[in-house]
Amino acid sequence: MLKGLGSYKKTVIFVHEWALAEAVISTILTVAKEEGAKEITEAEIKIGSLQQIEVDVLTFAFQELVKHTPLEKTEIKLKSEEAHFKCRACGFEWNFNDAMSALGGDEFEAIHFVPDLVHAFIRCPRCGSPDFEVMGGRGIWVEYIKISR
């Protein structure tokens, strides 16, 4: 059960969101087993804007992958987090939206696959340094899961 997201009608999925969804589901199932869960009631998944994950596609992958697993009735909440950066040289902070205009399609694709590759393509807007930190909103992670024992 996915909350707050539309359904994705494609029957074939060729994108790497599937790989990310598999990783998330595998993690939730492993943690739930380790914790002796009788039921997994809720899971919150955070999606950082840097990776530009297509939420519709991710939702479809989740819908397919949870079938016949203990996650079939789990409420999976997807929440986004804006990517933001901090320059290690001058301390300036900015967000991904500010940086997007400098990027082309190939750069977006590279960052989509491996978010850390952003370091090849953007620089601090204030001092031009390539030495900056991704402070948040990098990729995909499980914020928490709720279980019954």
Partner 1 sequence: MGRVHKNFKIRAPDPRLAIIDERLKDVERIIVVVSGKGGVGKSLVATTLSLMLAKRGHSVGLLDLDFHGPSCHIILGAKGVMPTEEKGIIPPDVHGIKLMSVVYYVGDEPLPLRGTEISDAFTELLAITRWGRVDYLIVDAPPGMGEEVLDIIRLMRRSEFLVITTPSSLALKTVSRLTRLLLEVKVPVLGVIENMRITETKLVEKHAKMFGIKYLGSILFDHDLEKCVGNPKRLLGTKFAGNIKDVAKEIS
* Chain positions contacting partner 1, by CB under 8 A: 13-16, 18-20, 22-24, 26-28, 30-31, 35, 37-39, 41-42, 106, 109-110, 113-117, 119-121, 130-131, 134, 138-149
User: What's the min distance (Å) between Cβ of 128 and partner 1?
Assistant: 12
In degrees rounded to 5, what are phi and psi of residue 138? -75, -60
Which CB, 13 or 55, lies closer to partner 1?
A: 13
Which CB, 50 or 94, lies closer to partner 1?
A: 50
* Nearest CA among 129, 42, 44 for reference residue 85: 129
**Cβ–Cβ < 8 Å for 84, 95:** yes
**What does the alpha-carbon distance between residue 17 and residue 23 come to, in Å, rounded to a whole number?**
10
User: What's the min distance (Å) between Cβ of 95 and partner 1?
Assistant: 18
Which CB, 5 or 141, lies closer to partner 1?
A: 141
User: What's the min distance (Å) between Cβ of 101 and partner 1?
Assistant: 18
In degrees rounded to 5, what are phi and psi of residue 17? -55, -30
Which CB, 26 or 69, lies closer to partner 1?
A: 26
Give the contacts of 86 (CB within 8 A, at least 6 positions apart): 92, 93, 132, 133, 135
